[in-house]
Amino acid sequence: MFIKDIQIFEDNRYKARAYMSYILLKNLPDKLPDIHIESIKEALDKIAHDVSVFDALYILDPSGMQVENAITLDKKYEQGAGEDRSSKAYFYRAVKLKRCILSDPYPSSFNNELCVTASMPIYDDKNNLLFVVCVDVKLKDILKLIQAGKFEFAFLQFGRLVYFCFALVLFVITCFLLHRGILGLLHDNAFDIHKIFESTIAITLALSIFDLAKTIVEEEVLGRTKKETNGLQRTMVRFLGSIIIALAIEALMLVFKLTVGDLSQMVYVIYLIGGVNLLLVGLSIYLFAVKYKNNNILEAD
C-alpha cells in the first residue's frame, strides 16, 4: 500500500507542492522588517486552520535548531524544542533554494507513519535568513488534499478498465498464436521447413504482442511510470523488430517456394524485402529521435 501511495505522490508532487506553497506564502510574513517569532506563531495558527490535517508545525532558526516545541493536534507530540534538524533535507534544501520545498516521504518521528514536510525560509527586508517554517503532513492526508474530483477519478478508473480489456484481448491473441506455433511444430513428424518458418513467425508475433499487452497493463492499469521503466520505447522496438523478423522469414519462404516454382513471381519477394528495409530505416530513425530527445533532456537538466 505504501509503495502505491508513494507512486501516486510522485505523479502528483507538483500539485502538492503548489498547494503547500500557496498556504505558506499566503500566511507567513516574508521580506519584511522586524519579523518576530510571535508573528510567525500567529501565522502558524492560521495555517493550522487552513491545513486541518497537519501532523506538526514547528520553527527552525538559521542554524537548523528547533526554536520551540512543535504544534500538533496530539498533545503528547508537543516536543522537539532545541533539536538539531540542520541535517534534514527539508531544512538545507529550503535554505539552498530559497523557496518553499516539499520533501520526499519519510517515517515521521512522532508516530512513525509516512509523512512529507513542506518547509519555507523566512527572510527580512535585507535578505537575511531568520527562520525556516516546517509543516509535517501525513502522506495519506496530502494525497487526499490533491486527489482528483469524483468525475475525473471515475473517468480514470474507466480508462484503466478499457486498457485492461484491450490488454486481455491481446493476451488471448497471444495464446492463439502460441498454440498455433506449437501445433505447427508438433503436427507432423516429417521435417517441413515451411512449417518451421510458419511456427517461428507465429511464436515471434506472440512474444511481441504479449510484450505490448504487458506494457499496457504496467503503465496504464497499474500506473507504473514510463519515466522509471521506459517501457513504451523498449516495447516499440521489440514489436517492430518482431514484425521485421516475421516479414524477413516470409520473404525467405517465398524465395524457397519460387525457386522450385514460378520465378516470374520473384518480383513480389523484392517488394517484400524492400518493405523490410523501409521498416528498418523507420526503426533507425525512431531510435535516433529518442536518443536525441533524451540527450536534450539531460543537457537541460
Say whether pLDDT at 290 is over 70: yes
pTM: 0.54
Q: Which residue has the higher pLDDT, 263 or 18?
A: 18
- The residue among 121, 113, 88 whose CA lies nearest residue 103 is 88
Say whether pLDDT at 301 is over 50: no
Identify whether the C-beta of residue 140 lies closer than 8 Å to the C-beta of residue 48.
Answer: no
Q: Please provide the average confidence, as pLDDT, over all residues in the chain.
A: 81
Q: To 10 degrees, what angle do helices 193-216 and 150-186 make?
A: 160
Say whether pLDDT at 177 is over 60: yes
Task: Name the phi and psi angles at 114, rounded to 5.
Answer: -65, 135
Average pLDDT on 77-81 reads 82
Q: Which residue has the higher pLDDT, 186 or 55?
A: 55
Over residues 33-63, the pLDDT tens digits come to 888 888 898 888 888 877 777 888 999 999 9
Identify whether the C-beta of residue 99 lies closer than 8 Å to the C-beta of residue 120.
Answer: yes
- pLDDT confidence of 207, banded at 50, 70, 90? confident
Identify residue 94 by its one-letter amino acid code.
Answer: A
Say whether pLDDT at 113 is over 70: yes
Say whether pLDDT at 229 is over 50: no
Identify residue 72 by its one-letter amino acid code.
Answer: T
Question: Which ranges of 66-149 would DSSP assign to H, the alpha helix?
Answer: 89-97, 139-146
Say whether pLDDT at 232 is over 70: no
Over residues 125-157, the pLDDT tens digits come to 888 999 999 999 888 888 877 765 566 667 777
Alpha-carbon distance of 15 to 191, in angstroms, equals 63
Tell me which of 11-25, 64-78, 94-108, 177-191 is least confident.
177-191
Identify whether the C-beta of residue 134 lies closer than 8 Å to the C-beta of residue 118.
Answer: yes
Task: Name the phi and psi angles at 189, rounded to 5.
Answer: -70, -25
Convert 73-112 to b/e letters by CB count within 10 Å (16 or more is b).
eeeebbebeeeebeebebbbebbeeeebbbbebeebbbee
Query: What spatial distance separates the first Cα and last Cα of the chain, rounded to whole Å?
Result: 32
Say whether pLDDT at 260 is over 70: no
Alpha-carbon distance of 136 to 56, in angstroms, equals 5
pLDDT for residue 294: 67
User: Cα–chain-centroid distance for residue 163?
Assistant: 17
